[in-house]
């Protein structure tokens, strides 16, 4: 379904980003990966799906590197058709204890990076008359949790950015939407599981159960594969009129 299209997925060397990259590749899209760490394994997984795989190591807190990455994608693949803004970090502390430099980092990587990539990707999408922008927000784009002020602010912000950009592109073939996952067991969340196990003096499994029990009524993690399937749907012609939504896939988290 996505043959001939090129997707750029930020933060796709692990977790949700890699899951979405693989789902888009399985539909025929070429994929440029991004993120820290060794990208050779993820690149091989994409190439094994029979599409072209690329990688750019832009640091998503650096606007000039984001610009260079978008340009590299257009040069290397001829276009950037599907932009998935997924890179993200977490820091947990109450506002009065929150290190200002961690605040700046969370806002830069989880929110401003999406502005910069969209700023550079939209002209090409407009010229070609088609595009998909998927911003990976969070249940925390819709509701808050204590201790996550920067993350909640960034994720609420990206939902707002999504709506504004969706209106600006409403009469075009470009759609802009946000996906709001609940708990997904990735390295980002494993750190929080480890912290919970240590704080409560409990096993890893019990910490996972308590984390889910606090927020996610299904008591099951959302998977990167399920989020990949939603990204494929939002990239499909069936979703041509899905514009500016913040679509939660969260085991019932925000229904409470
Ligand atoms: P993860 O830690 O597994 O992956 C994060 C990715 O971002 C990695 O590839 C990492 O290398 C990359 N990254 C981090 N900082 C970067 C930077 N400065 N420049 C470039 N790449 C950078 O995390 P994940 O859980 O897969 O999270 C992906 C996205 O999903 C994030 O935006 C996160 O907020 C969001 N999210 C996650 C959950 C969850 O439960 N895991 C829930 C809701 C939303």
Which ligand 1 atom minimizes the distance to the CA of 59?
19
Domain parsing of the chain, residue ranges: 6-182+222-255, 185-221
Tell me which residue has its CA closest to atom 39 in ligand 1.
Answer: 184
The answer to whether 151 is a known catalytic residue is: yes
Which ligand 1 atom minimizes the distance to the CA of 12?
9
CATH number listed for the domain at residues 6-182+222-255: 3.40.50.720
pLDDT digits (tens, 9 = 90+) for 66-93: 999 999 999 999 999 999 999 999 999 9
Which ligand 1 atom minimizes the distance to the CA of 188?
2
- Does the CB atom of residue 183 touch ligand 1 within 6 A? yes
- Looking at residue 21, its pLDDT comes to 98
- Does the CB atom of residue 14 touch ligand 1 within 6 A? yes
pLDDT tens string for the chain (256 positions)?
999 999 999 999 999 999 999 999 999 999 999 999 999 999 999 999 999 999 999 999 999 999 999 999 999 999 999 999 999 999 999 999 999 999 999 999 999 999 999 999 999 999 999 999 999 999 999 999 999 999 999 999 999 999 999 999 999 999 999 999 999 999 989 999 999 999 999 999 999 999 999 999 999 999 999 999 999 999 999 999 999 999 999 999 999 9
- Does the CB atom of residue 113 touch ligand 1 within 6 A? no
List the catalytic residue out of 103, 151, 183, 253.
Answer: 151
Tell me which residue has its CA closest to atom 44 in ligand 1.
Answer: 138
Task: Tell me how far the alpha carbon of residue 128 lies from the centroid of ligand 1, in angstroms.
Answer: 29
- Looking at residue 118, its pLDDT comes to 99
- Looking at residue 36, its pLDDT comes to 97
Please give the Cα distance from 31 to 209 (Å, whole number). 35
- Does the CB atom of residue 88 touch ligand 1 within 6 A? yes
Task: Tell me how far the alpha carbon of residue 36 lies from the centroid of ligand 1, in angstroms.
Answer: 10
Tell me the pTM: 0.98
Please give the Cα distance from 165 to 133 (Å, whole number). 9
- Are the C-beta atoms of 165 and 85 separated by less than 8 Å? no
- Looking at residue 188, its pLDDT comes to 86
Which residues, 6+ apart, have CB-to-CB distance to 77 below 8 Å?
6, 30, 32, 52, 54
Please give the Cα distance from 162 to 151 (Å, whole number). 16
Tell me which residue has its CA closest to atom 7 in ligand 1.
Answer: 11
Ligand 1 pocket, mutate which of 55, 112, 137, 186 (most atoms under 8 A from CB): 186
């Amino acid at each position: 379904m996505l043959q001939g299209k090129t997707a750029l997925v930020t933060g796709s060397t692990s977790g949700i980003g890699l899951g979405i990259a693989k789902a888009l590749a399985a539909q025929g899209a070429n994929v440029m990966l991004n993120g820290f760490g060794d990208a050779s394994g993820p690149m091989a997984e994409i190439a094994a799906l029979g599409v072209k795989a690329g990688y750019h190591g832009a640091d998503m807190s650096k606007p000039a590197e984001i610009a260079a990455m978008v340009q590299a994608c257009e040069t290397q693949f001829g276009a950037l058709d599907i932009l998935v803004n997924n890179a993200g970090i977490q820091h947990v502390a109450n506002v009065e204890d929150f290190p200002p430099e961690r605040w700046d980092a969370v806002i830069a990587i989880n929110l401003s990076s999406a502005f910069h990539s969209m700023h550079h990707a939209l002209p090409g999408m407009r010229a070609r008359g088609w595009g998909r922008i998927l911003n990976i927000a969070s249940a925390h784009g819709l509701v808050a949790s204590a201790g996550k002020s920067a993350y909640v602010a960034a994720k609420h912000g990206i939902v707002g950015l999504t709506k504004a950009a969706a209106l600006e592109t409403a009469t075009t073939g470009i759609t802009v939407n946000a996906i709001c996952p609940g708990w997904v067991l990735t390295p980002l969340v494993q750190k929080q599981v480890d912290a919970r196990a240590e704080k409560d003096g409990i096993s890893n499994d019990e910490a996972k159960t308590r984390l889910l029990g606090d927020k996610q009524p299904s008591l099951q993690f959302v998977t990167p594969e399920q989020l990949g399937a939603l990204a494929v749907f939002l990239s499909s012609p069936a979703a041509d009129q899905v514009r500016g939504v913040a679509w939660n896939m969260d085991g019932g988290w925000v229904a409470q």
